[in-house]
Amino acid sequence: MDLLLQADDIYASYDQRRVLKGVGLSLHRGEILGLIGTNGAGKTTLMGVLAGTHKHDHGRITLDGEKFVPDSIAEAQACGVGHIPQNFRIDPELTVAEAIFRGTFQSGKSHGELRDHAAKLIRDIGISMDPDVTVGTLIRAEQALVEVLRMVAEEAQLVIMDEVAASLPDHDVAVLHQVLRMLTMQGRAIIYITHRLDEVRSIAHRIAVMRDGRVHTMVEASQTDVDELAFLLLQQELEKVARPVGPADGEEALRIANLSVADRVRGVSFSVTKGEVFGLVGTHKSGVYELVEALAGVNPCTSGGIYLQGSLVHIRRTQDAERLKIGYSPNVADTLDSASSIAAGLQQGNDARRESLQDEITQLRGIADVVHRMRINTTNLQGAISTLSGGDRQKVELARWISADCDVLILSHPSRGIDIGAKEMVYRMLTQLTRTGVAIILVSSDLSEMVNWCHRIGVMRDGGLVTIEANANTNEDVLVHHMMGVKFESGSRPARRVKN
């Protein structure tokens, strides 16, 4: 294969902190290079250097044999480098055609011309998408494909994808992978960043492991496994997580009866007990998100009842949910004030009172303990949240909710963008919460995570609850079968059915 990218001895700093410490990396045309590392290892900074958003301090980069030192995104794009960042955002008012060609030399053409060009790209890639619909009507997986099509329209030779599939369900990830393989067949090269170790093995040719600002190891994807990758990342073996056995045996914490939300959720009923982790899964159009938003007061229900500790309650606003001790961490990026300090971000709200110096010291010790346990990469608790990596910002958001005084805690994609070591700690913290009687409703597209963490899992499809699976009775294939209404084989082991 032809060498496309060569980076040697790259150093880079952020906010007076040295992040990259001599990175070396190579990439060939037609290759997908997986890039993994714990949060704060330097992955996003390295991609910023390549994409023209961050200047490096020292080292040499060549692209297609030429010296490559981009001063801006536009210059990197002109040189053939395209970047899809971790928390990409597209103007929801743009049509698919406009979004695909935004920022390219074709963007000034009439919408009719753009539509025709977009329709051809979509056909060539082999996906189904209407170039005239607005981006705001698309689910996240479809928006990710729009961004990949933008890379094709830009004629990018090097495509950088930073955690783009972090919150996509398995079947959407499979479609994305299919498109990426088609791009490599055209001679393009891809750097693919993910924390899903099984995913990176399935899509990459080689896998670079970053630790502490350097590429420590490069392995062939076909010659490694998840356990070895986890060890290379953490330098220790992960403890095996025991799946919950049997139902949680607490009293009823929450019950919903015949709940509906406009035409998106219809007649859903279930209960969650104290100390239970109850999972909810479904496609983006299944009604899962509208259901949990109704419980959190974001978009109230239109009919049906919500009961807490057996009493009917009315949740019309988020303030109602908060008053009733229902916490909700939504599936949105960077909900924290980036200008606030890390310590402030880990506190619950602006009304955290410290009656004495001793109280303040105790609180700071607690914050330092959370930072250590969650492996948040910082040397300054009073530093701005904006100095953290995307994954570490997610950890702050998650830790803030886990430490909240809630009776019911709803978490949407809690492990999005965080490394495998931190996921293990998140699970431990959630387990500790359930032991205090907190009921947890977990929404995630990572079905392996759901199977490993939840006592029961409710599956939604077309606005209704189609089944509730006990942990011992299910696996990822069973869940996808119910989500899609068709059989789906991922290669997982057979479901463990309970004998009657």
358-412 pLDDT, tens digit per residue, is 776 776 777 777 777 666 777 677 777 777 766 677 777 777 777 778 899 999 8
Backbone dihedral angles phi then psi of residue 284, each to the nearest 5 degrees: -65, -20
Q: CA geometry: angle at 390 spanning 214 and 422, to 5°?
A: 75
Among 58, 69, 52, smallest CA distance to 24 is for 58
Grouping H, G, I as helix, E, B as strand and the rest as coil, residue 198 is helix
Distance CA(34)–CA(462), nearest Å, equals 35
CA 66 to chain centroid, in Å, comes to 35
What is the structure's pLDDT at 82?
93
**Torsion angle defined by CA atoms of residues 299, 304, 306 and 310, in that order, rounded to the nearest 10 degrees:** 180
What is the structure's pLDDT at 350?
39
What is the structure's pLDDT at 213?
93
Distance CA(86)–CA(92), nearest Å, equals 17
* Cα atoms found within 13 Å of the Cα of residue 384, Cβ hemisphere only: 10
The tens-digit pLDDT sequence of the chain (500 residues) is 699 999 999 999 987 789 999 999 999 999 999 999 988 889 989 999 999 999 999 999 999 999 999 999 999 999 999 999 877 889 999 999 999 999 887 888 888 899 999 999 888 877 888 999 999 988 777 888 899 899 888 889 999 998 888 777 777 788 889 889 989 999 999 999 998 898 999 999 999 999 999 999 999 999 999 989 999 988 877 666 677 877 777 799 999 999 999 999 999 999 999 999 999 999 878 999 999 999 999 999 999 999 999 999 999 999 999 999 999 988 654 555 555 777 777 765 434 455 666 776 776 777 777 777 666 777 677 777 777 766 677 777 777 777 778 899 999 888 877 778 777 777 878 888 888 899 999 998 888 889 988 999 999 999 999 999 998 888 888 998 899 886 544 444 433 333 33
CA 37 to chain centroid, in Å, comes to 15
What is the structure's pLDDT at 294?
96
Q: Which residue has the tokens 């300054």?
A: 380
Distance CA(419)–CA(281), nearest Å, equals 22
CB atoms under 10 Å from CB of 129, counted, come to 19
Classify burial at 353, counting beta carbons within 10 Å of its beta carbon; exposed 0-12, middle 13-18, buried 19 or more.
exposed
What is the structure's pLDDT at 445?
84
Backbone dihedral angles phi then psi of residue 363, each to the nearest 5 degrees: -65, -45
Q: Which residues contact 39 (CB under 8 A, 6 or more apart)?
A: 375, 376, 377, 389, 390, 391, 392, 395, 417, 418, 419, 422
Distance CA(351)–CA(326), nearest Å, equals 18
CB atoms under 10 Å from CB of 37, counted, come to 26
Grouping H, G, I as helix, E, B as strand and the rest as coil, residue 496 is coil
C-alpha distance from residue 499 to each of 197, 472, 478, 496 (Å) = 33, 10, 17, 9
What is the structure's pLDDT at 486?
63
Q: Which residues contact 313 (CB under 8 A, 6 or more apart)?
A: 306, 307, 320, 324
Among 285, 289, 283, 291, smallest CA distance to 267 is for 291
Classify burial at 351, counting beta carbons within 10 Å of its beta carbon; exposed 0-12, middle 13-18, buried 19 or more.
exposed
Q: Do the Cβ atoms of 247 and 470 come closer than 8 Å?
A: yes
What is the structure's pLDDT at 347?
67
Q: Which domains does the chain have, with CATH numbers?
A: 3-234 (3.40.50.300), 252-484 (3.40.50.300)
What is the structure's pLDDT at 351?
45
The tens digit of pLDDT for each residue in 237-248 reads 766 667 787 777
Instruction: Give me 417's structure tokens.
Output: 């963008």
What is the structure's pLDDT at 355?
60
Cα end-to-end span (Å), the chain: 57
Helix (H) / strand (E) containing 420: helix 420-435
What is the structure's pLDDT at 141?
77
Q: CA geometry: angle at 447 spanning 443 and 451, to 5°?
A: 90
What pTM did the predictor assign?
Answer: 0.77
What is the structure's pLDDT at 499?
33
